[in-house]
Amino acid sequence: MHESKYTDLAPIKHRKEFGQFFTPNNVADLMISWIIKDNPKSILDPAFGLGRFFDSLLKINKLRPDDILYKAYEIDPSIISYLDYSSHSSPVIEIADYLEADLKSYDAIVCNPPYMRFQNFLKRHHILPEIEKKAGIRLDGYTNIASIFLIKSLKELNTGGRLAYIMPFEFFNAGYGKEIKRLLLENSLLKQIIVFSNEKDIFPEVTTTICILLCRKDGVTSPIKLTRIDHVDQLKNIRSFEDFFQYELTPSQLPPDKKWSPVISGLYEQITIPSELSKISEYGKFVRGIATGANKFFALNREKIKNLGFGSNNYCRCITKSPQIRKSIFTENDFHDLEKSGAPVYCLNIKEHDNKKIIDYLNYGVSKGFHQRFLTNHRNPWYKLESRLPAPILAGVFNRGRLKIIRNFTGAINFTCFHSFYPNLPGENYINRIFIYLISDIGQDIIMTNKRKYGGGLDKFEPSDLNDGYCPSMNQFDRSSESDASEIIEIAKVDPQQAIDLSNRLITRILNA
């Protein structure tokens, strides 16, 4: 195997197209050790790549030609040329898409599947119904490819067989993960989850937080072992994943319709959620920002508006990028400072459809192909955007460390760089207090239990993650006053850290009263 040569010569665009990220040797060794415990006669590797698992098998099992059938699939023919196996110890590799292959059966399965969104997979409309039919499971259109691989592999696993799969951690929380988790639990397949808290230390090229699932098709309902690996050095001292774990949970403690990340993370991070809390959804709801499908076309700055000669009816104020807001309080003065700096803080919002200058700009957009983007192509007309009011609270979609929370005092709407909170009628009376809670350390810790972890310490929130988050009930919020919250907001304009300190005191008081 020539991994360094391949990664040096293969363009990163090519590797991303095929979702290629390679398994570290020590991780592959441990996964292989798990699947060969029952002396399988056949092994499946659905995404062979550079053969890291097969190399581990040769090393650990001293494989002889007649011992085991090692069947592998690889969709990228170019990567095969980097392999170097003797005729006496070589796998049976089929250059084909595993998802299109007929169902077969194997004693053991090991896989590091490709990492890409299923929406980017051109054959998805053909393959998804077939997988659903074969597996007897209904899948969400947002399911990622790794999960589709897993479902098919579980169907192909023989009774008594073992499976080890590297998976993106996000499926524990995502809506599409419900049916997959149900499949794992109801069939007593899942035996252990291995989580990597510092994935960049072990999987340096992976852009999402990953975990390993160990499954066995033995029909035995048993506690599910939880393992967290904090550092690459830990792997040197682990002889078997099965024997290295910190916690065990019963299947009932991991219900398929609930997010698993808060349960698992809570064991290690010891976050205590106070009693009597309500869900944020009781006060209103977070929704995603406006998706234009072509921000370069729709986002405008003052100079561009002037040069194009648009009337004021054809654009509106808009936060188009997350870095445009760097403080937790966003005021009219802040907006005007951005405007003066030339930032694109306006959004095309056409009202005068017969305006010649508007028509000219739309024709320019068509000439650049903006009308044929995925979202624009599904709108009629292609430039029509959602109607949205300015939101009083904004939350960052991607965050490192703290969740980015903004109190918006402007008339600006926002693109998908932020989620927008719109209060219901009762919630309007608690906007400032909700904001104070969300910037407090207590609120941050509680809300973060619903985050989706990505690689490099990057966290992501979907609107549903925020809406399902806990916050004080109205009775608890009523232990403080609107003036308390307003005072902290004024301080936040000049001293953000002092505002956080004061928020901590206020939230502690209302929760402990």
pLDDT at 193: 95
Classify residue 188: in a domain, yes or no: no
How large is the average pLDDT for residues 392-418?
A: 95
More confident residue, 255 or 451: 255
Over 80: is that where the pLDDT of 170 sits? no
Structural tokens at position 277 = 């809390």
pLDDT band at 86 (very low <50, low <70, confident <90, very high): low
**Pairwise CA distance, residues 473 & 279, whole Å:** 8
Classify residue 190: in a domain, yes or no: no
Classify residue 331: in a domain, yes or no: no
Q: 93: domain CATH number?
A: 3.40.50.150
Classify residue 297: in a domain, yes or no: no
Which residues are CB-contacts of 46 (< 8 A; sequence separation ≥ 6)?
72, 73, 98, 109, 111, 113, 149, 152, 153
pLDDT of 424-439, one tens digit each?
A: 999 999 999 999 999 9
> In Å, how far are 216, 401, 430, 442, 499 from 445, measured between CA atoms?
35, 10, 20, 5, 17
pLDDT at 397: 94
Over 90: is that where the pLDDT of 403 sits? yes
pLDDT of 242-277, one tens digit each?
A: 999 999 999 999 999 888 887 887 787 766 777 789
Classify residue 45: in a domain, yes or no: yes
Same domain flag for 27 and 174: yes
Same domain flag for 167 and 18: yes
More confident residue, 184 or 21: 184
**Pairwise CA distance, residues 404 & 327, whole Å:** 9
Q: What share of the chain is helix, strand, coil (3-state, %, to 5)?
A: 40, 20, 35
Over 90: is that where the pLDDT of 333 sits? yes
- Asked whether the beta carbons of 105 and 69 are under 8 A apart, the reply is no
Same domain flag for 28 and 137: yes
More confident residue, 274 or 295: 295
pLDDT at 82: 62
pLDDT of 130-154, one tens digit each?
A: 777 776 777 666 677 888 899 999 9
pLDDT of 369-384, one tens digit each?
A: 999 998 999 899 999 9
Nearest to 480 by CA among 491, 471, 467: 471
* Domain stops at, among 220, 248, 270: 220
Q: 417: domain CATH number?
A: 3.90.220
How large is the average pLDDT for residues 97-114?
A: 91
Over 70: is that where the pLDDT of 399 sits? yes
Over 70: is that where the pLDDT of 440 sits? yes
Minimum mean pLDDT range among 120-124, 287-291, 389-393: 120-124
How large is the average pLDDT for residues 201-215?
A: 72
**Pairwise CA distance, residues 156 & 329, whole Å:** 54
Nearest to 130 by CA among 157, 151, 150, 100: 100
Number of domains the chain is built from: 2
pLDDT at 40: 94
**Pairwise CA distance, residues 231 & 199, whole Å:** 8
Angle at alpha carbon of residue 134, lines to 132 and 137, rounded to 5°: 40
Classify residue 251: in a domain, yes or no: no
* Average pLDDT, rounded, for the chain: 86
Same domain flag for 148 and 286: no
Q: Omega before 392 cis (within 30°)?
A: no
To which residue do tokens 């190399």 refer? 55
More confident residue, 497 or 267: 497
pLDDT at 88: 56
**Pairwise CA distance, residues 336 & 26, whole Å:** 55
pLDDT at 116: 62
pLDDT of 3-13, one tens digit each?
A: 555 555 554 55
293: alpha, beta or left? (left if phi > 0; alpha if psi -120 to 50):
left
| Percent share of the chain, pLDDT over 70 | 86
380-385 contacts at long range (C-beta below 8 A, 24 or more positions apart): 383/298, 383/348, 383/350, 384/350, 385/290, 385/292, 385/298, 385/347, 385/348, 385/349
Over 60: is that where the pLDDT of 199 sits? no
**Pairwise CA distance, residues 25 & 27, whole Å:** 6
Classify residue 337: in a domain, yes or no: no
Over 60: is that where the pLDDT of 44 sits? yes
**Pairwise CA distance, residues 178 & 172, whole Å:** 8
Over 90: is that where the pLDDT of 207 sits? no
Classify residue 469: in a domain, yes or no: yes
Minimum mean pLDDT range among 77-91, 100-114, 336-350: 77-91
pLDDT at 201: 56
Over 90: is that where the pLDDT of 100 sits? no
Q: Which domain holds residue 287?
A: 279-291+387-512
Same domain flag for 166 and 284: no
| SS3 assignment, position 360 | helix
Structural tokens at position 103 = 């169902």
pLDDT at 117: 55
**Pairwise CA distance, residues 65 & 46, whole Å:** 20
